[in-house]
A = this chain, B = another copy of it.
């Protein structure tokens, strides 16, 4: 059974609705969408320039001209995907923002396309330098997006000065990825809310201020 293909995925859009300035962008979208779709369907090892070109309705030279090859294409596709999946909250309450961010991660992990892409990238791609680069780009993109949530809370005095923003972000997502990729346990809204609440409680207690982790524990004894 094939998933209904979006118009960008049909690869006809750039011809049918060409207008100045829009065609290049649409070709890019079609190729990146095709890359994700191929990755999801065939896995990391089955991805080829030919497969992507055929699915996107473009020629091989179009891809080589713009992306240089499979590596450049993958990096762009993963970065664009990572940015597009983000749903960055700003409710004025850092606890609620972190909860909504965890729910957004949950949607990414459980979505039919996005979840399959995450599995393809992180679950079975091995350890090549390119995969390491893709993981790094994915992380950098996600941190850049959600960083303002934590930065704002520190500026407003809702979280302690010196809070390690990247560690906060890591701890919100970790239990969800761990459940899915390592334990193979179900992802639930409750699991997302818990991951956010655990991280928020620790952040309020100053555990994410470097050098305070051990003190935080000691002070409680």
Contact = CB atoms under 8 A, between A and B. Distances in A.
Interface of A: 93, 95-96, 99, 119, 122-127, 131-132, 135-136, 139, 167, 170-171, 173-175, 177-179, 181-185, 190, 193-202, 204-205, 207-208, 213-214, 216-218, 220-221
B122 A124 contact: no
A116 to B, nearest CB: 10
A76 to B, nearest CB: 19
A135 B93 CA distance: 37
B174 A178 contact: yes
Contacts of A221: 93, 95
Contact of A194 (B139, B200, B207): B207
A168 B163 CA distance: 22
A200 B198 CA distance: 9
B213 A202 contact: no
Given A194-B213, A213-B194, A182 B181 contact: yes
A125 B184 CA distance: 12
Contacts of A132: 184
A126 B123 CA distance: 7
Contacts of A218: 95
10 contacts: A93-B221, A123-B123, A123-B124, A124-B125, A170-B175, A174-B178, A190-B213, A197-B217, A198-B207, A200-B220
